[in-house]
């Protein structure tokens, strides 16, 4: 068709979600979906703005292309957060929710249930729900043009296959360095399979249909500073190089001395992972952090309890630390699983092997360690057991052991506090 006779292409500028065009990488995600790829995988480092990308992509597709866009989150909290983001962007989104459950604060996005879960009118629209909620939905009633799977590395390939009935296109956005999906059934029959149903959805999807899957890698973190990026990128993201674009941010003491971005505290533990020495060291470090000031581009202010988190491997450790910090209820204390996706200006980490005298699969899990080491913005202190180096030296060789050995060496090179 001659260029003079082609219909004009409406501009995305000014429409909800148009900010996705401001960055060449996020614009490529939009274009990959626009081009008609049946599946697009978007690997992301921690703090790269995955939730923002999901919201902008959905809004742009709904308003610019009049598409019906579904969003599948892995938890209710994630679904609500996406709904809040979209509530500030568009009036075409709705959050699917259980009928008898109290409606959450969805930031202006309507909450729908029962027969009200349906596409409204002929214009583009967005439906948000958990993966579990989508799997109980009727494809004939709520089938979408595009389904965006948020935190897709926590979604199993089996669930992604079932979600495929809901849309012609699937976009998998997530962090490949995080904890794998929790599967309670016996999956031994698929051991060694590259397309096992219990694998993270993007991994098995690429193994099964690599040539048909588009790939756009996010290349920057807006949460982690340069020192943390240099620590975790080569260990946990060898196939996803990324850099830090976090604005300047640090802690300082009362005399103006700048604290390092990373530090470690060596402890001698003799009583296992619940040794009082370990949890006491974590609580003591929190009190030290609360005496510091936080310096950002917005200025300088004293640290508050809400600025600090403690992340540990086990629930019992979290309970003990909460008890020791009962005068600071605003301090966030939890396991890697419960803090996944969250961030705080300063974080205290209890090393996953602290207190152990053997290297077990749970303690060696790279995803768990990656989550623990990527929750902070300005500062992280890691409490390390003096004996962990010897435990790793006598462990059975494996890729996980190699990662943990390299991590421990890197942590020991940070300042001791």
Q: How many helices (H) and strands (E) does the chain have?
A: 15, 18
pLDDT in tens, 110-134: 999 987 888 987 889 999 999 999 9
* pTM as predicted: 0.91
φ and ψ at residue 82, rounded to 5 degrees: -65, -40
By three-state DSSP, how is residue 300 classified?
strand
Closest CA to 221 of 340, 43, 367, 71: 43
pLDDT score of 5 = 47
Cβ distance 295 to 261 under 8 Å? no
pLDDT score of 4 = 46
Cβ distance 133 to 96 under 8 Å? yes
Domains and their CATH numbers in the chain? 8-218 (3.40.50.300), 226-412 (3.40.50.300)
pLDDT score of 148 = 98
pLDDT score of 2 = 45
pLDDT score of 13 = 63
pLDDT score of 346 = 98
pLDDT score of 99 = 85
pLDDT score of 3 = 44
pLDDT score of 114 = 84
Closest CA to 172 of 196, 205, 138: 205
Helix orientation angle between 226-236 and 399-412, rounded to the nearest 10 degrees? 160
pLDDT in tens, 300-337: 999 999 999 999 999 999 999 999 999 999 999 999 99
pLDDT in tens, 259-270: 999 999 999 999
Which residues in the chain come in under a pLDDT of 70? 1-13
């Amino acid at each position: 068709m001659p260029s003079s006779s082609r219909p004009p292409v409406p501009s995305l500028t000014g429409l909800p979600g148009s900010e996705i065009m401001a960055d060449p990488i996020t614009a490529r995600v939009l274009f990959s979906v626009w081009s008609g790829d049946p599946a697009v995988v978007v690997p992301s480092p921690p703090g790269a703005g995955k939730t923002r990308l999901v919201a902008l992509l959905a809004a742009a597709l709904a308003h610019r292309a009049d598409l019906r866009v579904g969003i599948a989150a892995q938890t209710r909290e994630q679904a609500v957060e996406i709904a809040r983001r979209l509530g500030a962007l568009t009036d075409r989104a709705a959050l699917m929710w259980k009928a008898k459950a109290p409606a959450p604060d969805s930031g202006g996005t309507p909450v729908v249930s029962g027969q009200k879960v349906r596409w409204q009118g002929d214009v583009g629209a967005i439906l948000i729900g958990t993966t579990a909620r989508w799997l109980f939905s009727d494809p004939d009633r709520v089938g979408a043009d595009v389904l965006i799977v948020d935190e897709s590395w926590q979604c199993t390939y089996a669930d992604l296959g079932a979600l495929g009935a809901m849309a012609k296109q699937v976009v998998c956005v997530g962090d490949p360095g995080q904890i794998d999906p929790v599967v309670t059934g016996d999956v031994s029959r698929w051991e060694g399979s590259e397309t096992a149903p219990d694998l993270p959805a993007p991994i098995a999807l690429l193994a099964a249909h690599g040539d048909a899957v588009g790939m756009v890698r996010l290349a920057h973190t807006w949460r982690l500073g340069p020192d943390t990026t240099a620590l975790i990128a080569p260990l946990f993201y060898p196939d996803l190089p990324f850099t830090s674009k976090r604005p300047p941010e640090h802690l300082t003491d009362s005399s103006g001395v700048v604290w390092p971005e990373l530090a470690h505290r060596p402890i001698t533990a003799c009583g296992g992972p619940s040794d009082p020495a370990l949890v006491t060291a974590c609580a003591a470090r929190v009190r030290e952090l609360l005496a510091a000031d936080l310096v950002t581009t917005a200025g300088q202010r004293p640290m508050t309890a809400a600025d600090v988190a403690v992340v540990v491997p086990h629930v019992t450790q979290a309970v003990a630390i909460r008890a020791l910090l009962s005068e600071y209820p605003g301090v966030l204390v939890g396991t890697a699983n419960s803090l996944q996706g969250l961030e705080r200006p300063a974080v205290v980490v209890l090393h996953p092997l602290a207190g152990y005298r053997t290297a077990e699969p749970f303690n060696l899990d790279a995803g768990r360690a990656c989550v623990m080491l990527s929750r902070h913005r300005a500062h992280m202190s890691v409490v390390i057991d003096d004996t962990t180096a010897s435990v790793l030296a006598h462990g059975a060789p494996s890729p996980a052991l190699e990662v943990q050995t390299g991590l421990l060496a890197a942590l020991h090179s940070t300042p001791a506090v």
